[in-house]
Structure 1
Amino acid sequence: NDAGYHRCVAHRKPYLTKKTVAAHLEWAKANIGRDWALIIFTDEAAIKIGEHPTHQRVTRLPGEEFLLENIEPTFRSGRKSLMVWVAITHNKKGPIIHIEMVPAVINENGKKKGGGMNGKRYVDQILNGPLLRFWQEVEKDRGPGILLVEDGAPAH
């Protein structure tokens, strides 16, 4: 329209607490000047199966797409999903690995117990296999001094 506003689908991002945002900012400041070609970033993702998402629409001006009022936060849900692990570094993609999750057991009180990912499963499925091989490839290309950045999930 004449005022420059557009009706758009809101960008989505995981919900972040103020504490998490502060920790991210502190980490970013501590790593100014780092040689990013020597960093491997890893993360896990849940790909929702059978979901037909609808997206919130917002009215905004160009350049305002990442203002908090124009973002639709995402939250975890009970839907079925496929878990994958990935690694990337500067100018190189690592493998996408399907993580075999163990189903939770429902106890006598009807509460879920166990299942999912834990430290041992993470070591067996990721660290001792695909991550080690990717690390070795990157180190062969770039030399020693490669650093690993993970998101701090409990299984790590």
Structure 2
Amino acid sequence: MAATQRKELTEFQLHEVIAAYKEGFETLPSRSEASPITIKRYLHKNNIYGRVGAKKPFVNAANKMKRLKWAKQKVKWINEWENIIWSDESKFEVFGGDGKRYVWRTPQEKYNPKCLIPTFKSGQESVMIWGCFVKNKLGPLVKLEGKITANVYVKEILEKHLLPFINNLEDKENYIFQEDNAPIHTANIAKKWKEDNNIASLPWPAQSPDLNPIENLWDELERKVRNHRPLPKNQDDL
């Protein structure tokens, strides 16, 4: 018996596939007579694979403009970045599954807006930590417990952990402290503490955690947590 002949896509069907794959692979077979295997073979031939959708915080139009303005102001920065103390809080959640959603795209389309998975704040059981780093030097990692007010932020984080870290840096007066616009960071008591301790602050655009390189450290730490066996089942395990 002769082997089953592969059905090739017509030129029209090829254009249909390219136009439709961004809507999701599941819609493709209904838009052509080709089988899913044939469609996958064509997509792979054109370097289009199912990949984990890159996550990026939702940003409204006004904040997009502010982010762009901020970036343009610093487009010529090179050595200046080495003097930034990057900081952030991060939440490590207890939940099942890897939370991954897949999109069909080429390698160059990782950050194409149509291929991104918007992220929003969630409220699952979790552990909150604060950390910082500058250039190639890691700062303290602090577990945050209870309600974190501006007073707690100043006394338990800035006073106890950030200040000693800065004091141990050479040429400490040259460093600039980065933090986002969370209310505890922008409260008058926090501003006054930084002024009293001669700590300069880096202006920061809203909805911009993706601009902070400390996110790469959080990602690595989260991977280690997810790969740890047994998986954490509660806050104490985390």
Taking structure 1 as the reference length, what is the TM-score of the superposition? 0.81
Match of 2:85, as an amino acid?
I
CA distance 1:31–1:101, change in 2 (3 Å): farther
In the alignment, which residue of structure 1 is the partner of 2:66? 23
Say if 2:166 and 2:172, in contact at 8 Å, map to a contact too. Answer: no
Aligned equivalents of 1:90, 1:51: Cα separation in 2 = 34
Residue 143 of structure 1, CA deviation: 4.4
Higher RCO structure, 1 or 2 (CA under 8 Å, sep 6+): 1
In the alignment, which residue of structure 2 is the partner of 1:84? 129
Aligned equivalents of 1:21, 1:45: Cα separation in 2 = 23
In the alignment, which residue of structure 2 is the partner of 1:6? 49
Residue 80 of structure 1, CA deviation: 1.2
* Max Rg structure: 2
Secondary structure in 2 matching 1:54: coil
User: Which residue of 149, 153, 157 maps to 1:118?
Assistant: 149
In the alignment, which residue of structure 1 is the partner of 2:86? 41
Of Structure 1 and Structure 2, the greater helix share is in: 2
Deviations 1:59-109 (A, max 9, x none): 00121111111111111122111111111111211121111223xxxxxxx
Residue 14 of structure 1, CA deviation: 2.0
Secondary structure in 1 matching 2:140: strand
Matched, 1:130 2:175: no
Residue 20 of structure 1, CA deviation: 2.4
Aligned equivalents of 2:174, 2:53: Cα separation in 1 = 40
Aligned equivalents of 2:172, 2:159: Cα separation in 1 = 20
Aligned equivalents of 1:118, 1:79: Cα separation in 2 = 20
In the alignment, which residue of structure 2 is the partner of 1:150? 179
Aligned equivalents of 1:54, 1:147: Cα separation in 2 = 35
In the alignment, which residue of structure 2 is the partner of 1:108? none
Question: Which residues of structure 2 form unaligned runs of 5+?
Answer: 1-43, 186-238
Aligned equivalents of 1:74, 1:3: Cα separation in 2 = 29
Q: What is the aligned-residue identity percentage? A: 29
Aligned equivalents of 1:29, 1:71: Cα separation in 2 = 23
| Matched ranges for 1:85-104 at <5 A | 85-102=130-147
Please tell me the root mean square deviation across aligned C-alpha atoms, in Å. 1.7
Taking structure 2 as the reference length, what is the TM-score of the superposition? 0.55
Matched, 1:72 2:72: no
Aligned residues: 140
Say if 2:84 and 2:135, in contact at 8 Å, map to a contact too. Answer: yes
Say if 1:83 and 1:101, in contact at 8 Å, map to a contact too. Answer: no
Secondary structure in 2 matching 1:43: strand
